[in-house]
């Protein structure tokens, strides 16, 4: 499992903050609600829910990110309980939360079926689950594909060894995960904009700071890793909407599941 505490995931987390706001809004978080931010990273959704007066817990396997999240909570003057752990084995009682949020988080847990069973288990009757996932179109997905193909080629695997989060971008796949629990997701497609000074700057941030990219460097070797820069910049540039800088629009799914 990738250690998302490697590098500086903080940069990407800042770019994902608008999606956390959409998720908290979609969950209609109310004062006093018991809320879990699952795979909280640096705590984007947890902090927003706590600012609404909810009793929030943030869980993530990356302890360095939990430390960053705790620092952010202190700076914002909100209380959040931080817990190390993984989505497939949640250290919480059945029905412990009124709302469970996961912003581009649970999509990395494997097996996905086990993570979904845990999501459902810890959500109280009458509670809701709100998730965001990426679809597989656009320049960001194309850029990620450069990494995935290189890892597959280097390892000889028919697919990446880790989970394939982009299958979560297929509404039928998501519906199939929740169907065994008798639950039907409501799914909305939402745009998400990424910006940087240039395609090169965005690529270099990924190559030098992003934990998923850094995790591939030992597999590919320094030369193989450096060789990703050119195709990555080409993939990002192909979708660039701002010739003077870098701006691309990705598509995400905003998913709400109500537990009867």
Ligand X SMILES: C[S@@+](CC[C@H](N)C(=O)[O-])C[C@H]1O[C@@H](n2cnc3c(N)ncnc32)[C@H](O)[C@@H]1O
Among 41, 127, 138, 199, binds ligand X (CB under 6 A): 41
Nearest-angstrom CA–CA distance, 44 and 21: 8
H/E stretch holding 135:
none
User: Quick one: tokens of 246?
Assistant: 């870098």
Query: Interior CA angle at 163 toward 203 and 66, to 5°?
Result: 70
Cβ atoms of 132 and 254 within 8 Å: the answer is yes
Note whether 105 binds ligand X by CB under 6 A: yes
Bond prior to 73 in cis (omega within 30° of 0):
no
Nearest-angstrom CA–CA distance, 106 and 118: 10
CA dihedral for 4, 8, 10, 12, sign (positive or negative): negative
Note whether 80 binds ligand X by CB under 6 A: no
Indicate the residue among 205 and 237 with the shorter CB distance to ligand X: 205
The residue of the chain with the least Cβ separation from ligand X equals: 41
User: Quick one: tokens of 187?
Assistant: 């799914």
Note whether 177 binds ligand X by CB under 6 A: no
**Selected range binding ligand X among 102-110, 117-125, 195-203, 241-249, rule: CB under 6 A:** 102-110
Note whether 87 binds ligand X by CB under 6 A: yes
* Shortest Å, Cβ 72 to ligand X: 11
Note whether 140 binds ligand X by CB under 6 A: no
Note whether 62 binds ligand X by CB under 6 A: yes
Note whether 143 binds ligand X by CB under 6 A: no
> Where do contacts with ligand X occur on this chain (CB under 6 A)?
1, 4, 13, 16, 20, 39-42, 44, 60-62, 65, 86-87, 103-105, 108-109
């Amino acid at each position: 499992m990738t250690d998302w505490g490697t590098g500086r995931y903080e940069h990407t987390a800042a770019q994902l903050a608008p999606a956390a706001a959409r998720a908290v809004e979609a969950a209609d978080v109310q004062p006093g609600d018991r809320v879990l931010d699952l795979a909280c990273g640096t705590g984007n959704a947890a902090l927003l829910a706590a600012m609404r007066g909810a009793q929030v817990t943030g869980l993530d396997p990356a302890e360095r990110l939990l430390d960053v999240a705790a620092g952010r909570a202190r700076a914002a003057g909100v209380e959040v309980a931080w817990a190390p752990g993984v989505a497939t084995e949640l250290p919480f009682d059945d029905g412990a939360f009124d709302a469970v949020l996961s912003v581009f988080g649970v999509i990395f847990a494997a097996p996905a079926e086990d993570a979904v069973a845990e999501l459902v288990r810890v959500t109280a009757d009458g509670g809701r689950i709100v998730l965001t996932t990426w679809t597989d179109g656009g320049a960001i997905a194309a850029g990620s594909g450069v990494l995935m193909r290189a890892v597959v080629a280097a390892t000889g695997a028919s697919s990446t060894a880790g989970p394939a989060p982009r299958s979560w971008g297929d509404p039928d796949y998501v519906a199939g995960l929740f169907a065994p629990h008798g639950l039907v997701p409501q799914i909305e497609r939402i745009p998400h904009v990424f910006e940087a000074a240039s395609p090169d700057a965005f690529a270099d941030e990924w190559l030098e700071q992003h934990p998923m990219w850094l995790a591939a460097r030992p597999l590919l070797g320094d030369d193989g890793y450096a060789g990703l820069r050119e195709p990555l910049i080409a993939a990002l540039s192909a979708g660039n909407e701002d010739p003077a800088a870098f701006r691309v629009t990705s598509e995400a799914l905003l998913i709400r599941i109500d537990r009867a």
